[in-house]
Amino acid sequence: MADALKVGIAGLGTVGASLVKIITARTDELAVTCGRAIEITAVSARDRSRDRGVDLSNIAWFDCPETMAAEADIDVFVELIGGAEGAASKAVSTALSRGLHVVTANKALLARHGVELSVIAEEKGVLLNFEAAVAGGIPVIKALRESLTGNKVSRVYGIMNGTCNYILTRMEKEGLTFEECLKEAQRLGYAEADPTFDIEGNDTAHKLAILTTLAFGTKIAADEIYLEGISNISIQDIEAAADLGYRIKLLGVAQKTETGIEQRVHPTMVPRDSVIAQVDGVTNAVAIESDILGELLMVGPGAGGDATASAVLGDIADIAKSRPGEQRVPVLGTPAKALAPYVRARMRSHEGGYFIRLTVADRTGVFASVASRMAENNISLESIVQRANPSVQTSDSKTIILVTHATTEESVRNAVSAIKAESYLVGEPQVIRIERPKAF
């Protein structure tokens, strides 16, 4: 049997502690499966005195992760610190430059520095694995990077943030407000004290940017994503969606078009009978559409200590099974120096149409004016109805729900802007895309 693979873990939070427990408990099984033992020989964290429920007495301790990356007797550096800059970035760069393999669960780091880190890894002939960075325990990175080789991917989309999916699920099933659901998510540990990164779509955007690069062979472009979160989703929207046969999900969508790559993150209405609409709670789902395989949907736990640790361990095991001198799979599917420049596509006609909710003054001519603004922007309406909702409406206002046929983002935004200029609108309009998945 080959020499043991020596692993150093930077970050001993929920995921790091879970990883130590799993490796320690399954040492013999891993040695048989991987053809060599996996040993944790170094760790780094800020607080030595904290009880993490694992025995670290025989493991070298480093207060600084960058020092561990530079000096520890390890073969693999596991980064579980988090953050795009600072200690995580410096330590990973140091480890790769030293010729160590790296495993990370850090989507923010990869979204910001993934290409440059991939260049270092490929020049040094080492692996940079990051399955846990996107969709937790779902093996979507390996699927795109290895399993779908030869396929031409046309679209990748999915539910990639458990916090948002939990909130939207609770709102629908229990009739709670967004604020009530967010508070409960924070109590249960699903949402941070400052939940902005999750609920405004940034977390999903980072994951989507990584998947886009793997799917289409372009440079990572996390700043080129149309971004909209869920903080403005109301009970009215949830109820209207249900009446129309839809559920609301926060989706990340990347697709190749004739003008470039389109990336967007936003609340979306999906048909209630579609598979992706049934994905509830903190569960994630990623769908891939390609020319040879067709449609592939992967569903599983998107977060949590054990789910993330499982994905990290899978990456470590892949390294343990590899042998010096063998051909490495490019970190991002395509060699880093061969990645094409990212070209942002024009927002094209959206096949699923749009849901538009307007609260307006209850007076003659409003329906006709709304319809006229739509017609002026070449928007065909599938339906336009007044929705009774006494709990939120006053006696002198009413809610109008519009569902459009396929149209462009620009046309919808122009029409809504024109309506906002009218004197009859009360409050802000709500606009939500409708997606009708091909097979899900």
* 279 contacts 299 by C-beta, under 8 angstroms: yes
Set 107, 142, 207, 256: catalytic member: 207
CA-closest candidate to residue 171, choices 242, 229, 227: 242
Give the pair of three-digit tokens for residue 122. Answer: 């490929």
Q: What is the C-alpha separation between 403 and 269, in angstroms, rounded?
A: 11
Strand (E) positions, 149-245? 153-159, 226-227
Give the pair of three-digit tokens for residue 217. Answer: 């062979």
Helix, strand, or coil (residue 204): helix
Our CA angle for 14, 161, 283, nearest 5°, is 80
Q: Which residues pair with 257 in a beta bridge?
A: 260
The letter for the amino acid at 183 is K
The letter for the amino acid at 303 is A
Contacts by 52-59, CB closer than 8 A, 24 or more apart: 52/12, 52/16, 52/17, 52/20, 53/17, 53/21, 54/17, 54/20, 54/21, 54/24, 55/24, 56/20
CA-closest candidate to residue 257, choices 409, 413, 125: 409
Helix, strand, or coil (residue 51): coil
Helix (H) or strand (E) holding 418: helix 409-420
Helix, strand, or coil (residue 353): coil
**In terms of residues, how long is the chain?**
440
Active site residue 173: no
CA-closest candidate to residue 104, choices 331, 325, 339: 331
Q: What is the C-alpha separation between 200 and 192, in angstroms, rounded?
A: 13
Q: Give the torsion sign (CA, 409, 410, 413, 416).
A: negative
* 247 contacts 272 by C-beta, under 8 angstroms: yes
Q: Which residues pair with 290 in a beta bridge?
A: 153, 294
* 431 contacts 355 by C-beta, under 8 angstroms: yes
Q: What is the C-alpha separation between 54 and 41, in angstroms, rounded?
A: 14
8-state DSSP, 44: E
Helix (H) or strand (E) holding 357: strand 354-361
The residues annotated with a catalytic role in the active site are: 207
